[in-house]
A and B are shown apart, each in its own frame.
Chain A
Amino acid sequence: MSLISLKVNGQTHSLDVDPTTPLLYVLSDDLGLRGPKFGCGLGQCGSCTVLVKGQAVRSCITAVESVQGVEIITLEGLGTADKPHPIQKAFMEEQAAQCGYCLNGVILTAKAFLDKNPKATEKEIEDGMSRVLCRCFTHTRMLRAIGRAKQEMAR
C-alpha cells in the first residue's frame, strides 16, 4: 500500500491503496463512483471507460499509479441530470438505452471522439465507436444520439 493522489471530477483524493490496483476498483470501491463499470477486465468492451486528460481510457487495465495527479473525469463528472453534457442530453432525448450498463463507455468514448473530431461523418463516428460493446444492441439510437450531440456541440 502507498499513498496515491487522484484528481477525479475536480476533486483531489489522497488514498492509501496498492499502486498496481486497476483505476476502476479505486473509483468504484474507494470513491464510490457508479459511472465506470466492470465489464470484462480486459479492456475489450469499454464499460469501465474514464477520461484521462480528455482521452478515453479503459480503467480496468490502467494501474492507478499511472494516472496520479492527472485530471480524471467520470460519467458523473461530465454532467448531471439537471445540467447534462450535450451528449448525455442527446442520449436522454433519443432514449438511447435499454439496460444502460454500457452507457458509461459509450458516452465517454463519444465525448473523447467528438472533442477530437467535431466534424466527423456518420461513418467516422461508427469507426470511432467500434471498440465499444452494447449487448442490448441499442446501436441505432446511440449512433443517432451521438450525431445529435455533434450538431449541438458545434453550435
Chain B
Amino acid sequence: MKNPSLPVNEIPMSRGAADALARAGFSRRTFIKGTGALIVSFSMGGVLGKLAAQQARGGAFGENAAADSPPAGEVDSWLAIGSDGTVTAYTGKEELGQGMSTAQTQLVAEELCVPFHRVNLIVADTSITPDQGVTSGSQSHPANFNHNNLAGACATAREALLQLGSKRLNIPADQLIAVDGEIRSKSDASKKVDYAELVAGKKFDLKVDTSAKRKPASEWTVLGKPIGRPDMPAMATGTFEYAHNVRVPGMLHGMVIRPSAVGANLMNVDESSVSGMPGFVKVVVKKNFVGVVAEKTWQAVQIARALNVTWSPGPELPKQETFYDYLRNQKPTRDTLLVNSNDVDQKLSEAASVVKATYHHPYQMHGSVGSSCAVADVQGDKATVWSPTQGVWHQRATLAMLLGLKPENVHVIFRRGSGCYGINGADTVTYDAALLSQAAGKPVRVQLTRKDEMAWENYGFAFTIDERAGLDAKGNIIAWDHEGWSPVLGNRPVYSYPGNVITGFLAGFQPEEFRPRSPAPEPATFSNNSNAICSYMVGHVAGADHGAGTIKSERALLHNVVSPFWTGPLRSPQRLQNTFAHESFMDELATRAKVDPVEFRLRHLSEQRMVDVVKAAAKAANWDSRTSPKPRATSASGIASGRGISCVAYEGDNGFSAMVAEVEVELATGKLTVKRLVVSIDAGPISNPDGLRNQSEGGALQGMSRALGEEVTWDDHNVTSIDWRTYHSLPLGFAVPKVEVVLLNRPDMPATGAGETAITVVAGAIGNAIFDATGARIRQVPFTAERIKAALAG
C-alpha cells in the first residue's frame, strides 16, 4: 500500500509531466533543446501586439520572470502535440481548489479543437512550465484566457495547423476546419489529416500571435460547459496526492520550534535534552530558526515538545482593545493617494448635509484546514522541493537565497495543499523542510502544527477607515472622502525576500523594507487594485475618468504603518475591507437621503456592468424596495428581519458582483441568523458555469464566516488564535443560509477574475441587512452577538 515513488534526484520533472511526455513519445528536455521545427509559411500579423494592457495587471506573466523560464512569447512554452495526438499544455496557473485546471483544460481543448480528455495539463513545475508569477488575486483568467499566454498560444497553434493542413491537403485554409484533432475539408470530410501526422513530434517554433483568431463564444462546445472536475473522483475516494501525501525514499520527518513570543530571540538550545530520544536524528539551528529531524513523524513531534529552548522575552505588543486607535496614530506612515480631485473639503463645506463614519476590520487568517506541508530533498548543491506554494518560480529564487544555492539548481514542483486563499504557511513550510533537509542531508517532510500555522502566518490586513460624504438638497452625493490606515509587515517572498515570511526571517533575512512617505504624491496613473476608490466615484486620474460612478469630488488616501504581525494577501486583500466600509457607508448615505438602497446605488453608478449586477441580484432576491431601516413590527418572537445590498467593481474592472443578504436578529441577545444570500456575478465569458457557481457559493459563505466570527486575537506577547476554539470558522453544520448565484455571461468581453469577487461584498450586505432589521449599524467586523447587542442598546 506504499505510494509509488521515484528516486528523488532522478526526477527531471514532475511525475505527471514525465508520464504525459512518455505517453506522447518524447522527453520534454530533448524537445525543448531539439531543433526539429515545423515550417509554417504564413505571415504573423500583430505578433507581440496587445501585451501591454494584460501584463500591466501583473498577473499575466511574472513581472520579473526568471531568465531561464520557458519564454511566454513562444508557442512551444505552452503546448506540445504528441505523436499519439495527445496535447500537453503547460501552465503556471495552479489548481488550488478553485477549478483552474479544469477551466484551462477546457480552454486548450476548445481553442485547439481536441476532445477534453485528450488534453494533459502540466501545472507549475520550474523544470517545464513558464514563470507566471503567483496564482492569486483573481488573475488566472485575465492572464491565460484572453489574448496572451495559454489562450494566445492555442489560437496561434490552431492557425498554424490549418496552414499546415492546407499545404498537406492542397486545399485553401479558408476551406478547412479544425475538428476533433484533425484538419478537415469543410465540403468533403474524407479529406483530412490529423494533428499528430502534421506535427510529427516537432516543435511549433512560433511566436504567440496575440491577434490570432480566437474561437467566438457562440461556437464553443467545451468552454462554457459545466464540465466536472477530473480530480473529483480521486479526492472523493482518498487517492489524490496532496503535498501532504508526497513520500520519497529515505525521507525523514521534521518539526519546527517557533519563538516563545513575537519578536523573541534565541538564547540557548539544549540538544542533550532530546539526543537520546527514539528516532532522534538532528537539532537544526540557524540564527533564530530551530527545528528537529527524526525518523518518524510522532518521534519528531515528541522531540520538538521535549527540546529545551530558551528565548529572550519579546517586546510588548500593542493592546488589542485600543489597536484601531494605535493604527491611526502610528508613525511613520507610507501614504498613497489613489484619487484626488483636490476639492473635497470645499465641496463638503457646500453640502446640504455631511455624513461621517468610521469602520474597523480585524486581522484575519487564511487558516487552512490542513496545516501547511512540504517535502524537500537538498543534497550538495542541488535541491528538489514538493511544495504547495502559489508561485514555484518565486519559491525557487528565494529558496536558493535561503540555502545558498544557485536558482537553476533548485527544482520546485507544485503539489496542491489544503486550500490557501492567499499566502498561508505554504512558502514558509517549504523553507522549513529545505533548511532541515540541507542540515540532515536527506529528504525531510515537515507539516506544521496547528498552532505554528495559525500563530505565525501572514495575516489578512487589519484596517481602520474613515468615510466622509456630502449630500446636496436632493439627496445626491456631491463629494466622497475615504481615508484608511492599515499595518503591513512582510508579504509574499516574490523573487528576493525570503524574510517576508516567518522562516526566512528567523533564518536571518529581513522583510522587504518599509519605506515611509508622507505626504503622498498626487496620483499619476489610475489603479484601483485595492478598491480604495469606491464604485461611486468617477475615478478621475491623468485626464480621464476610470471609475464606475458619478461622484466628481473624490479623494482616496491610504496610510500604511508597520504591523506587529506578519501580513500578506488573504482572499480579496484590501478590497474586501475597503468594500465593507464603502458599502456600509453607502447605506448610511441612502438612509440619510431617504432613498431605497438599490435605487440610491443605481443613481450613483455609471458603469453599466455594475448597474446590471445590482439589478440582477435585486431581481433574483425579489428586493423589497423601500428605505432602511424597516419599520419594526412588534413581534412576539422578538426577532427582527431585514435585507441589505452591497456591490463591487472588483479592482475597478476585474469582475463585478452584487449581493442581497436576508437576516434575522434576536433582539434580546443580538443573535444573528443569515437566512439567504443572493449573489450576482459578471466575470466576462464564463469558462465553466458550475465552477463559477462553486467559487461564488464558497466566496459567499467564507465571506459570511469572516464577517460573523473571524478575528485574530493576541495578548501582551503572543497571538492567542491558535486553534479552532480560539479562531472561529463556521463549521459545516451551522445554520447554512440559502445561497443563490446569478451568473451574468459576457461572451463579448475580456475574461476577468472570479474567485475573489463574491466574497468582497458579503460583510457589507450582511451589515446593511442587520441595520435594515434593527436600525443598529455595526461598523466593526466581526459582527458578534455581543457587538450587535451593544449596538441595539446604543
A68 within 8 A of B: no
| Interface pair B698/A136, CB less than 8 Å apart | yes
Given contacts A39-B371, A101-B419, A139-B701, contact A128 B238 (CB under 8 A): no
A75 within 8 A of B: yes
| Interface pair B232/A140, CB less than 8 Å apart | no
Chain B window 345-381, contacts with chain A (Cβ cutoff 8 Å), 1 for yes, 0 for no: 0000000000000000000000111110100000000
A118 within 8 A of B: no
Interface centre among A25, A92, A137 (most CB of B within 10 A): A137
A53 within 8 A of B: no
B563 within 8 A of A: no
How many Å lie between the Cα of A144 and that of B1 in the bound state? 33
From residue 63 to 84 of chain A, which have CB atoms closer than 8 A to chain B? 74-76, 78-81, 84
A4 within 8 A of B: no
Chain A window 13-24, contacts with chain B (Cβ cutoff 8 Å), 1 for yes, 0 for no: 000011011100
A106 within 8 A of B: yes
How many Å lie between the Cα of A125 and that of B734 in the bound state? 11
B725 within 8 A of A: yes
Given contacts A95-B694, A134-B732, contact A39 B369 (CB under 8 A): yes
Query: Interface stretch among B68-76, B191-199, B241-249?
Result: B241-249
The size class of the interface chain B forms with chain A is 35 or more
CB-contact partner of A74 in B238, B244, B367, B694, under 8 A? B238
Which residues on the B side are within 8 Å of A11 (C-beta)?
1
| Interface pair A22/B232, CB less than 8 Å apart | no
Which residues on the A side are within 8 Å of B36 (C-beta)?
none
Interface centre among B98, B278, B296, B704 (most CB of A within 10 A): B296
A2 within 8 A of B: no
How many Å lie between the Cα of A75 and that of B232 in the bound state? 14
B239 within 8 A of A: yes
CB-contact partner of B298 in A22, A80, A137, under 8 A? A22
Chain B window 688-710, contacts with chain A (Cβ cutoff 8 Å), 1 for yes, 0 for no: 00100011011111101100000
How many Å lie between the Cα of A137 and that of B1 in the bound state? 32
| Interface pair B232/A95, CB less than 8 Å apart | yes
| Interface pair B739/A39, CB less than 8 Å apart | no
Return B386 CB to nearest CB of chain A, in Å. Answer: 14
Which residues on the A side are within 8 Å of B3 (C-beta)?
32, 34
Given contacts A32-B1, A136-B702, contact A38 B236 (CB under 8 A): no
From residue 21 to 43 of chain A, which have CB atoms closer than 8 A to chain B? 21-22, 25, 28-29, 31-42
Given contacts A76-B237, A99-B418, contact A126 B371 (CB under 8 A): no
| Interface pair B228/A95, CB less than 8 Å apart | yes
Given contacts A38-B244, A92-B228, contact A135 B367 (CB under 8 A): yes
| Interface pair B419/A126, CB less than 8 Å apart | no
B328 within 8 A of A: no
How many Å lie between the Cα of A1 and that of B279 in the bound state? 11
Which residues on the B side are within 8 Å of A76 (C-beta)?
237-239
A112 within 8 A of B: no
Which residues on the B side are within 8 Å of A18 (C-beta)?
278, 296, 298-299
How many Å lie between the Cα of A118 and that of B772 in the bound state? 40
How many Å lie between the Cα of A25 and that of B302 in the bound state? 13
From residue 406 to 444 of chain B, which have CB atoms closer than 8 A to chain A? 416-419, 421
How many Å lie between the Cα of A11 and that of B1 in the bound state? 10
| Interface pair B698/A31, CB less than 8 Å apart | no
Chain B window 722-744, contacts with chain A (Cβ cutoff 8 Å), 1 for yes, 0 for no: 01110001111111100100000
Excluding A18-B299, A41-B449, 11 further A-B contacts by CB distance (< 8 Å) are A18-B296, A37-B242, A38-B371, A44-B724, A100-B97, A126-B734, A130-B734, A136-B702, A137-B705, A139-B701, A143-B736
22 pairs, A vs B, C-beta closer than 8 Å: A18-B296, A25-B296, A28-B245, A29-B253, A33-B1, A34-B239, A34-B245, A38-B244, A39-B371, A41-B449, A42-B724, A44-B723, A75-B236, A75-B237, A97-B235, A100-B232, A126-B735, A134-B732, A136-B698, A137-B704, A141-B694, A142-B732
Residues of A within 8 A of B (CB): 1, 11, 17-18, 20-22, 25, 28-29, 31-42, 44-45, 47, 74-76, 78-81, 84, 88, 91-92, 95, 97-104, 106-107, 125-143
